[in-house]
Amino acid sequence: MWGWLIVLGLVTFLRLVLVSWLPLSPDEAYYRLWALAPAAGYLDHPPMVALWMRIGMFFAGDTAEGLRLMGPVSAAVGTVLLVKAAQIWLSFQQFPAKKALESGIVLNSTLAVGLGTLLMTPDTPLVFFMVLLLWSMSHLLSGAHPAFWLLAGLSAGLGFDSKYTALLPVAGLGVWLLVTREGRQWLRTLWPWLGLSVAGVCIAPVVMWNAAHHWASFLKQGGRAGDWQPARMLTFMGELLGGQIGLASPFIFVLFIVAIRYLFRLRDSFAQLLLCMILLPMAVFVQHATGARVQANWPVVLYPAFALSVVCVPYRWWKAACILGVAMFVVVVGQALWSPARLSPHFDMTLRQMGGWPAFVRNVENQIPAHAMLIADEYGLAGELSFYAQNRQVLAVEPRWQFFAFPHSTCGAEGYLLRSRRRHDLPDPAFFDVIGQLPDILRSRRGVVADSYAVYRVRLRCTEGTAILEETALLPSYRY
């Protein structure tokens, strides 16, 4: 066990080094602005990713290392907790105790979790709190003090505060309480209800924020449940399957599916709990894919439970599965850092998302007149400009900014609007009067163009009594 802890420590150190080398992705740059404008909720997600970033910024400043610090740290702690949960479960099974290590190794070998330790997204804290929930339940079902229900409720609530998909495995836990004999015995005690109360306290700020903002976040995310395009069902199903084969890695995906079969063979309460926490969310994702797209990262909420289930699989080829997963991670990160394969952005996600941002913003500052305001009407680009630009005022213009506590612009403000050429449209005349145009500016990495940006000199159009100014935000462009 000590040997594996040393390996985990070395892996965590390597991840902490890598986070400082990779440019911020547009979503990360956007979440950084959340951390600079603390709130109990945001349009896109609950606030935990902003808190995760804020903690890292406290220790390492407003830098890539600070923004991503909690990724490797929470992954290391979560790995230990997952292995401990597996050890507790295996103590009641006919499997060697050393198989508990498989759960931690498999989870870290998935491409989703490997990249999730380097790039800060809402899935990063979500995975950690799902692991904490499983660890709490393993103690409860092993006969530990019922007070672990309070920790389970805390994990469920903070998981919800990370991403709304946490509701799915927590709903699976609720099903287990209702349909199993041991679950119903627990319901006759006060402890699960106290845990539910703790979860309610945790999610209350998010609910209150939504209530104060016309339920904006709930409607944005929950509204997807009503999507219905049956003619594209096969396409959506293929995307769901392909996304999981890619994010889990092919052999680990097969391992996850095989693990479900072995869970059915076991009769203990924890295996039944894992089945409920896996199968109910899977059914929801499959049902959603019959009429709408399931984003590839949504099922990542299930990966901790899947990885824990792997310990009941007797096959030894899990090592080959993990080797392939790690190899895929090395290829993706290597491409992001050194671009050994000169691929177009259509095929290279790392180029499309992270390629060339620092150099691009330097070019923007060099080609746009000094002290002129930079304007973006796309949140990811606005975040990148805010992070990498030095001594420039950055104005974001989009309806989402009305939910942030940033200062607004003034009528008639002028600046230079940058827009990706991929958008194939002109600046919105409801927001801007175009009064000039500069040559396009390219964003590239090692000579391969990731994107080109049109540069318009614009004046913000607004009249007294309009709501346009409320949809602008003057973004901070400084570093702590």
Of 28, 32, 24, 73, the residue nearest 54 (C-alpha):
32
Question: What's the pLDDT score for residue 159?
Answer: 98
Give the confidence band of 390 by pLDDT, cuts at 50, 70, 90.
Answer: confident
In this predicted model, what pLDDT tens digit does every residue of 6-23 receive, in sequence order? 999 999 999 999 999 999
Q: pLDDT digit string (tens) for 324-353?
A: 999 999 999 999 999 999 999 999 999 999
Tokens linked to 329: 């991670």
261 pLDDT higher than 70: yes
Beta-strand relationship, 374-376 and 414-420: parallel
Give, as one character, the DSSP assignment of residue 405: -
Q: Is 463 helix (H, G, I), strand (E, B) or coil?
A: coil
What is the model's pLDDT at position 285?
A: 95
Q: How far apart are CA 82 and CA 184, in angstroms?
A: 26
> DSSP character for 37?
S
Q: Which amino acid is at 86?
A: A
Between CA 329 and CA 322 the distance in angstroms is 11
Instruction: Render pLDDT for 294-309 as a digit per residue (tens, 0 to 9).
Output: 999 999 999 999 999 9
Asked if residue 209 has pLDDT above 70, the reply is yes
Q: What pLDDT shows up at residue 42?
A: 96
Q: Could you say which DSSP state residue 189 is in?
A: S
At residue 158, does pLDDT exceed 60? Answer: yes
Q: What is the pLDDT of residue 466?
A: 54
Rounded CA separation 121/466 (Å): 34
Mean pLDDT computed over every residue of the chain: 93
Tell me the per-residue pLDDT of 452-473, one tens digit each, with 9 for 90 and over: 999 999 999 876 545 578 889 9
Place of tokens 């869970």: 263
Q: Is the pLDDT of residue 319 over 70?
A: yes
Give the number of other Cβ atoms within 10 Å of residue 66's Cβ: 23
Q: Inform me whether the pLDDT recorded for 44 exceeds 90.
A: yes
Residue 162, token pair as written in the block: 């990370």
Q: Where are the domains of the chain?
A: 2-337, 353-475
